[in-house]
Structure 1
Amino acid sequence: MNIETWGYIRHLFFVEKLAKKVIARQLNLDPKTVRRALAKETFSNRQSLSRPSKLDPFREKIAALMKTYPGISVVRIHEEIRKGGYDGGISILRTHVRSLKPEKQAFLYIRTLPGEEAQVDWASTGRIGDRKSSCFLMVLSFSKMIYIEFFPSQSLENFLAGHVHAFHYFQGIPRKIRYDNLKSVVLNRLGPNIQFNRRFLDFAAHYLFDPSVCNVRSPQEKGRVENAVKYVKNNFLAARTFGSLADCNQQAADWRDHTANVRIHGSAKARPIDLFREKEQSALISLPRTDYDTRMTCSVKSSSQCLVRFDTNRYSVPFPQASMLLTLKADDQFVSIYDKERLIAEHARSYDRHQVIENPEHVKGLLGARPQGAAFKHRDAICALGESAGQYLDALAKTELRLDKQFQKILDLIDLFGKSEVAAAIEHALQHGAFGHEYLRNIILANRRARAETKPPGTPSSKINPDLIRTIWVEERNPEIYDQYCHIKEEDDEDPKP
C-alpha cells in the first residue's frame, strides 16, 4: 500500500463517512487492508523482512564463479552449485545473477563518411608454428573493408609495416585513424594531455593522416575493429592449423579476399568490397611516391671476425668492413647492413637464438691470405649440409688424401650441382666407403644420368670445367627439317643426265 491509497482510504472514512466494507468494495481492496490503513495515524513504508533464500549458502560460490569466468552462463552456475547441494530452481538464480552484473551502457551509433576514418588494433593470437604471433588489423569504418596480417611481435616496426601494407592493399589512405593507447602510438598520457611516439608522428605526417586516440578504457570508441578482432578469432583462426607464420599469412590473405570482404556485412547489409569500390576508394588520400622506411635502425660495430650482433644472432659483413661502425636496418624478413649509405650485406632474418649467419662471399678475398683459416671455413660449409657430411669428413680425415684440396673440390661440386645433390652423394658414398671428391662427382653424374639430367644448373664455361662438354648429350636432328624455313632445295652432287 502506497501513501496515495492510505490517504484516500482515510478521506473516504473520516470525511465521506463511508463504511469500511463499502471502501474495500469501491477500491477493490481486502477489508483488512482498509482497517490497517485506518489504524495508522502516520504513513510508514516499512519493508517486510526478507525471507531466507535457498541461494543464501551459495552466494559466495556464485560470485567466485562469475569473477573467475566472466562469461559463464546461468546454466553452468546452476550445475556447479547443485553439486554442492542446491535444490532450488533456476529462475531465482537468473534473477540473482542479473543483479550482480553491471548495467549495460548505451552508446550512440555514429555514421562515418567514405574515406573519413579507419580503426587499427593488435590481436594476440598465441603461437603459430614455433613462435608467438600477433594479428594486425585495419578496418575502414564506412565500407567495413578489413586488412589483416600476422607478425612475430607487436613492435613499432611491425606496426608501421602493417600500416604500409594496408595502405597499398586499399590503394589509398583514410583521413583519420583511430587507436587505443598503444605504446607504439602513445608514450604517456595524463588526462587529455597525450605524448605521442615521435617516430609514429613522423610516419603519420609522411602519409598525411590524422591519428586519433580513444579515451582510456573505452573500447566502444573503436567498436568496428573490436568486432573485427572477434570475427578473425572466431571465423578465421578457429579450427585451422598453420605450419608457419608465412603459411598463416597466405591463408589469411585468401580468407580476407574470398570470405571477409565479400560477405554480406551484418550492419551494412552489403558486401564491403562493393561499398569500397563504389563509394570509398575514390575518397581515400593518394599514396606518396615513396614509402616510409619502417625498418628498425641501429648502429652496430663489426668484430674482427667480420660479424655484427643483432637480436642474439651474428651476421657477416665483407672483410674490408671488419672492426667498423656500421648501420643495421631490420624488418620481419631481412637484416640489411650499411656502410654510411652503401648497402654492404643483406641476410634473411633468423628468429633462432645464438646463430651465426654467414655469406661465404664476405670472406672469400680473405681466404687466400689465410690458407689454414680457409680450410676451416670450407670444412664448416660442408658440415652445414647435415650430419652425414660431418661423418664423411671425419672418415675422409683418416685417409691419405690432402684435406684442403678435397674441401675445395667438394665446395666446387656444391657450386656446380647444388647442396641437395652433393648431400645425397655424400650419404651414398658414406654407405659404400667411397672417399674423395672424384667418387662424389661420379655418384652425382650417375644419379643425373638415371634421371636424364646431364646438364647441371648454372653450368660454368668449359674453361672452368673442360670435362663438362663431354657429359652433355644433344639430341640428333635431321638437317632437312631446316630446309622448309630457308627455302633451300638441295642439289645432287652428281652431274645431271643429258
Structure 2
Amino acid sequence: MIEQDKRSAVYCLYQEGMNKSKISKELKIDRKTVQRIIDQKGVIPESERCDKIEIDHELLRELYIDCEGWAQRMHEILTEEKGIKIGYSTLTRKLRELELGKKKNQRCDRVCDVAGEEMQHDTTTYYRKIGDKKIRIVASLLYFRYSKVRYLKFYRSFDRFKMKCFIHEALDFYKYCAKICIIDNTNLARLCGAGKNAVIVPEMEEFSKKYGFKFICHEIGHSNRKAGNERSFYTVESNFLPGRTFKNMEDINSQGFDWATKKMYNRPMSKTNLIPAKAFEFEKSYLVKIPIYVTPPYIFYERICDQYGYISVDTNHYWVPGKTRFKAKVFEYSDSIKIYHNRKFLIEYNFPPDGTKNELFSPKGYPKPVYQPAYRKKSSTNEEKKLRGVSEEINLYLNFAIKSMGKKSIHLLENYIV
C-alpha cells in the first residue's frame, strides 16, 4: 500500500498541472495507480469489512458431539440445514478456539542446564562435494548440554553399529558421559513407542549400560527438547561447511574433529561468553566417568577363505596366512578387522581409505602370495555367452542358477565344464 504522504504528493502535483504519465515516471508509480489516487483525492479509502460471522458456541459443541468430531459433517449441517454461511477454515478455527478436537500443542518442558545431567545425540544429512564428486553424507553429533561440548563425525551411511562406534569414540575421547542421552523418536536406538512410552532396542540399552547412561526419547512435537543439538547442526552448516574443501571422507572427518574438539571447544559462546573447555572441566565432577576399558563395538561374521588365501570384506579382499579353503571368523570394528581361525588369532587389517573397492591386501612382513586372482574385476558376460552356447540344458540351468544364486555360480559352472 502506498503511504499517505506519497498519495498527497501525487494529488498535489496533479492539481498543479503535471500530467499523469509524468507523475507516474517521476514517482515510479503505475499509471493506473496514479489515476486511482487522483479519483480518491489523495486520501486512503476506508476499507469496509463484512460483518463478522458469529455462531453460538453451544450449537458448535452440540454439533461436535452429534457428528463425533468430524468437522466436514458439521460444516454440511451448518450450511445446508442451518443456513449459516461459514467457510470450512473459519469453522475449524472456531473449533480450535473452543479447544474442541485436537489439543493445542503444549510447550515442551523447560529444563535448566544442570551439570552432569544430560547429553544429546542426533544425525542429519548434507550433500557436499567430496573430492570431485557431490555425495550424500550423514553428520552424527554428540552434545553435552551444560558445557556445550561437541563431538562431530561424518559417514557415507549410518546404521546402529556405526552409531555405537560413534558414541564409543566420542565418550572414549572425553572420558566422561552424562546420566541420560536425549534422542528423537526416529533414532536408531528406539525400538517402538514414542516419548516417555518409547522402548529402547535391547542391544542399545545394554550398550549404554557399559558407559553408565541411558537413552530417553523426547515427546512427539517437542523437538526443541534437544535444541542444543539442533543449534549445533546449524553451527555446522553456517560455520564449518562453508568455505572449506574436502579431499575425501578422511579429510572432512579430520577437519571436523579439529573444529569440534579444538576450535569450538575453546571459543566463547556468543551470548553467555561461556567457554566449553572451562565449563567441561567444572562439569567433570558431576559426570559419570567411563570405565578404564570398554570393549569397542564390533560385528561378527564368518567368511570362507578362497583358493588364493583371501577373504572378502566390503568388496575388498584380505589375504589370510595359513591353509586355504577354511572358515574364518571375522570381527569388524570401526576402523579395522581381526581374523581368527577357531580360537587362534591370525591377522589384523586396518581399513583402506574410503572409496577403495575390489582391491587385494596382504600384510607387511609376510611373503606376497604366489597366486593372485586375475579376473575378479572382469565381467562374466563372455563366460555366460560361452556357456549358454553349449546346450539348451545348460542354458536352462543357468537361468535357474543365476536367479537363485547370482552370477557367482557361472564361474563354478565353467570350471566344471572345462
Scaled by the length of structure 2, what TM-score is found?
Answer: 0.58
Q: String of CA shifts for 1:460-486, please: whole Å, max 9, x gaps.
A: xxxxxxxxxxxxxxxxxxxxxxxxxxx
1:155 aligned onto 2:187 = no
Q: How does 1:60-459 map to 2 (within 5 A)?
A: 106-127=107-128, 128-129=130-131, 132-189=136-193, 193-266=197-270, 268-277=272-281, 279-320=282-323, 322-350=324-352, 351-352=354-355, 355-359=358-362, 364=367, 367=370, 373=371
How big is the shift at 1:356? 3.5
Residues 366 and 224 (structure 1), Cα distance of their counterparts in 2 relative to 1, 3 Å cut: closer
| Number of the residue aligned with 1:96 | none
Q: String of CA shifts for 1:385-431, please: whole Å, max 9, x gaps.
A: xxxxxxxxxxxxxxxxxxxxxxxxxxxxxxxxxxxxxxxxxxxxxxx
| Number of the residue aligned with 1:410 | none
How big is the shift at 1:288? 0.9
How big is the shift at 1:138? 1.0
Q: Is the 8 A contact 1:319 1:363 kept in 2?
A: no
One-letter code of the match for 2:180? K
Aligned Cα RMSD in Å?
3.2
One-letter code of the match for 1:288? P
SS in 2 for 1:282: coil
Q: Is the 8 A contact 1:115 1:280 kept in 2?
A: yes
- CA distance, structure 1, for counterparts of residue 265 and residue 194 of structure 2: 38
- CA distance, structure 1, for counterparts of residue 265 and residue 166 of structure 2: 18
Q: Is the 8 A contact 1:318 1:361 kept in 2?
A: no
How big is the shift at 1:355? 0.7
Higher relative contact order (CA 8 A, sep 6+): 2
- CA distance, structure 2, for counterparts of residue 366 and residue 228 of structure 1: 49
Unaligned runs of 5+ residues in structure 2 are 1-47, 53-103, 376-418
SS in 1 for 2:163: helix
Pairs aligned (count):
273
Which structure carries more helix by proportion? 1
SS in 2 for 1:261: coil
One-letter code of the match for 1:199? E
One-letter code of the match for 1:290? Y
Residues 191 and 235 (structure 1), Cα distance of their counterparts in 2 relative to 1, 3 Å cut: closer
- CA distance, structure 1, for counterparts of residue 356 and residue 192 of structure 2: 32
One-letter code of the match for 1:347? Y
- CA distance, structure 2, for counterparts of residue 316 and residue 289 of structure 1: 34
Q: Is the 8 A contact 1:116 1:175 kept in 2?
A: yes
Scaled by the length of structure 1, what TM-score is found?
Answer: 0.49
How big is the shift at 1:187? 2.6
Aligned-pair identity (%)? 20
Q: String of CA shifts for 1:194-240, please: whole Å, max 9, x gaps.
A: 34223211211111212111233431121111111111111111221
Answer with 177-186 or 188-197: which moved more.
188-197
Residues 146 and 365 (structure 1), Cα distance of their counterparts in 2 relative to 1, 3 Å cut: closer
Q: String of CA shifts for 1:33-63, please: whole Å, max 9, x gaps.
A: xxxxxxxxxxxxx97269xxxxxxxxxxxxx
Q: Is the 8 A contact 2:212 2:290 kept in 1?
A: no
How big is the shift at 1:361? 7.1
Computing the radius of gyration from Cα coordinates, the structure with the larger value is 1
- CA distance, structure 2, for counterparts of residue 319 and residue 123 of structure 1: 44
Residues 330 and 366 (structure 1), Cα distance of their counterparts in 2 relative to 1, 3 Å cut: closer
- CA distance, structure 2, for counterparts of residue 265 and residue 104 of structure 1: 31
Residues 225 and 360 (structure 1), Cα distance of their counterparts in 2 relative to 1, 3 Å cut: closer
- CA distance, structure 1, for counterparts of residue 289 and residue 110 of structure 2: 29
Unaligned runs of 5+ residues in structure 1 are 1-45, 51-102, 368-372, 381-498
Q: Is the 8 A contact 1:151 1:332 kept in 2?
A: no
